[in-house]
Amino acid sequence: MTKVYIVGAGPGDVELITLKGLRAIKEADVILYDRLLNEELLTYAKPGAELVFCGKLPNRHAMIQEHINESLVRYAKEGKVVTRLKGGDPFVFGRGAEEAAVLADENIPFEIVPGVTSGIAAPAYAGIPVTHRDLSGSFAIVTGHRQAGKDDDLKWESLVNIETLAVYMGVKNLPYIVSQLRRFGKSPQTPVALIHWGTYDKQRTVTGTLETIERIVDEEGIENPSMIIVGEVVRMREKIAWFNEQSVLQTALK
């Protein structure tokens, strides 16, 4: 029976995919998969399944979004079971809602399979809880990379009142993010962490403050994909870091 599964594959560690997501991989006749995805998951595909790479780089796309949408519709109308495999969660900066809307317009049955998002998983692997009874009772996820002309849409004056911020895709815009947070009242001593390739064996973490983090990131060569975590919860890393990182980069928060 024709169906499209829009599946969140999790942040990288293959064991973080859900049972339902794994079943969707195993049942698929066609899997359309993204770049920031642990390709070990594709080894669970059934023999003969067609694997279609849809990876996107900032300035180069293997398949533009319109073609991805068209492919989902075409394969489904051919009577195939299709799994759209996306890193993290499909509804957290994953354009899963756009793909689902196209399928709905075409009256194609689909299911959304949530995934573990990197804004929670990457800091957890770095020993950083996004909430904490004593340190943070509020948590927000924020895009660090807006569409052209929309950089100022974010309400930074409101975001500074959130105790923990998880910023996705923000390394390139780190100076702007830091400047906006400081402009609207975040203390320069607010702790910040960047987690590179979170939950993978090659994970690396650097910590600093809003005053020092730009220099640290530049010195250590931290690039995307990285999660940026802003808030006092970053200090918990000193006590509960548990994951055996390939290169643990410690920076004093004092």
Q: Any residues with CB less than 8 A from the CB of 151 and at least 6 apart, and which?
A: 173, 176
SS (H, E, C) 225-248: CEEEEECHHHHHHHHHCCCCCCEE
User: Catalytic pick from 13, 86, 89, 169?
Assistant: 169
User: Catalytic pick from 3, 20, 56, 80?
Assistant: 56
Q: Flag whether the pTM goes above 0.95.
A: no
Q: Strand pairing partners for 136?
A: 132
**Quick check: helix, strand or coil at residue 23?**
helix
Q: What is the pLDDT of residue 251?
A: 45
- Cα→Cα distances 187→134, 192, 210, Å: 18, 11, 8
Residue 37 has pLDDT above 60, yes or no: yes
User: Catalytic pick from 34, 89, 186, 236?
Assistant: 34
Q: What is the pLDDT of residue 145?
A: 75
Q: What is the pLDDT of residue 219?
A: 97
In the residue annotation, 56 being an active-site residue is answered as yes
For the stretch 123-166, pLDDT in tens is 999 999 999 999 999 999 999 976 545 555 689 999 999 999 99
Domains by residue range for the chain, with CATH: 3-113 (3.40.1010.10), 118-240 (3.30.950.10)
In the residue annotation, 202 being an active-site residue is answered as no
In the residue annotation, 169 being an active-site residue is answered as yes
